């Protein structure tokens, strides 16, 4: 496992880290024993950074991470998020009372006195134009409740605004073979300001693992069923916002580009790691075998220039016209 520095925190974090949404909920049935085994497998593979949120399984994901902390001695970082407990996203919802209450709840779930990294969880875009919200986060750092804070965003423009605030250490954004716009402008700007990039949805919700087909069916409580068209939250969070048919066609072609000895999921993760602005990818996983496969991507050879060119050409021809303008 290779490690990269996160923002100005001085933390060296694993370039393949762990996304803990699926083990909390909204991805069909999960089994806590398997989920914990997956978390242990991540630590065994050198992962030292875990991304969660207060709303994943209404705190269940955070509580599983607290359990992991109890069971293991090694130091690891937990990034959580706040803001999605609001019934409707409003700017006024990001006030001192709410932010403090959400943080206190996460501290309890995580069984800790200080949160390593708190991220605003895809708030209303206007929040990024309100310095007072970031002032509240500064106060929570001063009070010792947070070590650092960052943001999770939907759009590149929100990220560009957020990183104007001097204490934002990280931006979490969708970045994968099917979502390439962040590399155009945001990455250079984030590097210039020494802001970390957490690449979320790196496998396009599993589509870029190559195992999903036209015959795949998803449970009622799996967002790949209930949010296919953005009915519950931003449609870009499900399959990266790419419609199933064109997505599957592109995946069929990507399969032909996979280097010997690697899997499609690993090629997708390696593609992300080729961007030096990226601090880490945070693939979600529910089972130890998925974790082992994902973690191993860090030790594979970089993709050849020819492969990178073919992947990016495929994006430009088949996916870019469908999604590039949205996020």
Question: Could you tell me the smallest distance in angstroms from the CB atom of residue 142 to ligand NAP?
Answer: 25
Does 236 help bind ligand NAP (rule: CB under 6 A)? no
List the interface residues with ligand NAP, window 47-76 (CB under 6 A): 51
Count of residues near ligand NAP by CB under 6 A: 30
Binding ligand NAP (rule: CB under 6 A), the pick from 110, 280, 285, 319 is 285
Q: How many CB atoms lie within 10 A of CB 271?
A: 26
Give the Cβ contact number of residue 309 at 10 Å.
11
Q: How far apart are the first and last CA of the chain?
A: 31
Classify residue 222 by its DSSP letter: B
Distance CA 9, CA 93 (A): 28
Q: Which stretch binds ligand NAP (CB under 6 A): 40-48, 91-99, 284-292, 318-326?
A: 284-292
Q: Determine, following the binding rule CB under 6 A, whether residue 39 of this chain makes contact with ligand NAP.
A: no
Rounded to whole angstroms, how far apart are CA atoms 256 and 89? 42
In this structure, what token pair is assigned to residue 80?
């959580």
Interaction between residue 195 and ligand NAP (CB under 6 A)? no
Judged by CB under 6 A, which of 57, 182, 247, 283 binds ligand NAP? 283
The piece of 90-98, 103-111, 142-150, 195-203 that touches ligand NAP (CB under 6 A) is: 195-203
From the list 41-49, 103-111, 138-146, 278-286, the region that binds ligand NAP by CB under 6 A is: 278-286
200 binds ligand NAP (CB under 6 A): yes
Q: Give all strands (DSSP E) within the chain, no chain letters.
A: 3-5, 12-14, 18-19, 49-51, 77-82, 115-121, 146-152, 168-174, 196-200, 280-281
CA 127 distance to own-chain centroid: 20
Which listed range, 15-23, 68-76, 123-131, 160-168, lies at the site for ligand NAP (CB under 6 A)?
15-23
Distance of alpha carbon 216 from alpha carbon 211, whole angstroms: 9
CA 236 – CA 255 distance, rounded (Å): 23
Least Cβ distance, residue 6 to ligand NAP (angstroms): 15
Cβ-contact 200, 153 below 8 angstroms: no
| Closer by beta carbon to ligand NAP, 182 or else 206 | 206
- Pairing mode, if any, of strands 280-281 and 49-51? unpaired
Q: Compose the 114-133 pattern: x for residues touching ligand NAP by CB under 6 A, - for all others.
A: -------xx-----------
Residue number, 139 or 292, with CB nearest to ligand NAP: 292
Q: Helix, strand or coil for residue 50?
A: strand
Q: Which of 15, 25, 27, 69 binds ligand NAP (CB under 6 A)?
A: 27
Distances (CA, A) of 81 to 9, 20, 127, 205, 325: 18, 12, 15, 19, 26
| 193 burial level (CB within 10 Å; 0-12, 13-18, 19+) | middle
Comparison of 33 and 142: residue with beta carbon closer to ligand NAP: 33
Residue from the set 6, 13, 204, 254 that interacts with ligand NAP by CB under 6 A: 204
Stretch that binds ligand NAP, among 2-10, 67-75, 124-132, 204-212 (CB under 6 A): 204-212
Chain positions contacting ligand NAP, by CB under 6 A: 19-22, 27, 51, 81, 121-122, 152, 172, 200-206, 209, 211, 237, 265, 282-286, 290, 293-294
């Amino acid at each position: 496992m290779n490690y990269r520095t996160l923002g100005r925190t001085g933390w060296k974090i694993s370039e393949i880290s762990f996304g803990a949404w699926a083990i909390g909920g909204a991805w069909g049935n999960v089994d806590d024993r398997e989920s914990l085994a997956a978390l242990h497998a991540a630590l065994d593979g050198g992962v030292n950074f875990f991304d969660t949120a207060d709303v994943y399984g209404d705190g269940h994901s955070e509580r599983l991470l607290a359990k992991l902390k109890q069971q293991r001695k090694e130091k690891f970082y937990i990034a959580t998020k706040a803001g999605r407990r609001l019934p409707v996203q409003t700017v006024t919802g990001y006030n001192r009372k709410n932010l403090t209450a959400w943080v206190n709840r996460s501290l309890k779930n995580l069984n800790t006195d200080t949160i390593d990294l708190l991220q605003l969880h895809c708030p209303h875009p206007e929040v990024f134009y309100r310095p007072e919200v970031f002032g509240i986060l500064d106060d929570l750092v001063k009070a010792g409740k947070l070590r650092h804070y960052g943001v999770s965003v939907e759009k590149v423009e929100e990220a560009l605004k957020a990183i104007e605030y001097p204490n934002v250490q990280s931006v979490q954004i969708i970045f994968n073979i099917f979502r390439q716009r962040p590399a155009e402008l945001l990455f250079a700007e984030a590097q210039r300001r020494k802001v970390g990039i957490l690449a979320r949805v790196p496998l396009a919700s599993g589509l870029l693992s190559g195992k999903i087909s036209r015959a795949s069916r998803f449970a009622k409580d799996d967002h790949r069923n209930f949010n296919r068209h953005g009915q519950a939250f931003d449609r870009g969070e499900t399959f990266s916002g790419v419609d199933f048919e064109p997505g599957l066609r592109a995946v069929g072609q990507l399969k032909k580009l996979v280097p010997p000895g690697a899997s499609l999921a690993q090629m997708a993760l390696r593609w992300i790691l080729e961007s030096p602005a990226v601090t880490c990818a945070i693939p979600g996983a529910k089972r130890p075998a998925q974790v082992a496969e994902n973690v191993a991507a860090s030790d594979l050879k970089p993709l050849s220039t020819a492969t990178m060119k073919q992947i990016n050409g495929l994006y430009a021809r088949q996916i870019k016209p469908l999604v590039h303008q949205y996020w």
